[in-house]
Amino acid sequence: MIKAAIFDLDHTLFDRYATLAEVAKKFRTQFDVADGVTDERITRELVWADKQYVHFHWRHIHKHLVDCGLFSQAPSFEEYRDFVVSCFYKTAIPFDFAIPMLDGLRKSGIKTGLITNGAHDLQYAKINLLGLQDSFDSIIATGDIGVHKPERGPFDIMAARLQLDAKEMLYIGDNPLNDVEGARLAGYIPVWVKTTGTWVFPEIEKPELQVETVEEIPALIKKLNKA
């Protein structure tokens, strides 16, 4: 019996690509963009690089943006990183179905939780921008506990807080390593959200349960519990 649904944040509960499109519009205020490069091209390159490399390191994203000729004078990786992080403190575009989905789960008796890798200030800034601060029974930003996914510590802490066995809990996220494999090794039932569109860790087994967006989670839980 599934009694809780625990979620990742980035690429799972908000529209990362719509958010990146807003970030792309601000590149000209911060960087020397090459002549002839449109906002649409910046968005296209940024989203493509994010889909390919977000599960590895932002340095790969930065390298792609430099190599594809977006800048007349390329920023350093540190300049790029600090600018994007500053934007994430101010911009997060929600999926319109996220809050109704979470509220519906709780009304049906399913507990909800959030485990997100990252520093407290940044992750809670996103949570507040998205209006998600009251949508969970428990929230863990791993910067607060000093242990990060895919290590099992955050998953064990969440199970203890909700007073449930891991096998009674779904963990829903986009990252094959941090979310799917981390949850699996902690005893949760993993669900892969296919927002990035690519499975970039061939050595990791894909989970049986997969969804396009978290809007499908309530129906999935009903199906699992009926079975």
Kindly report the CATH number that applies to the domain delimited by 4-15+93-226: 3.40.50.1000
Q: How far apart are CA 157 and CA 150, in angstroms?
A: 13
Parse the chain into domains and list their residue ranges.
4-15+93-226, 16-88
- DSSP 8-state assignment for residue 163: T
Measure Cα distances from 3 to 63, 108, 114, 132 in Å.
43, 10, 15, 20
pLDDT digit string, tens, across residues 8-63: 999 999 999 999 999 999 999 999 999 999 999 999 999 999 999 988 999 999 99
Residues sharing a CB contact under 8 Å with residue 8, sequence separation 6 or more, in sequence order? 114, 115, 116, 171, 172, 173, 174, 175, 178, 179, 193
Interval 114-158: pLDDT, tens: 999 999 999 999 999 999 999 999 999 999 999 999 999 999 999
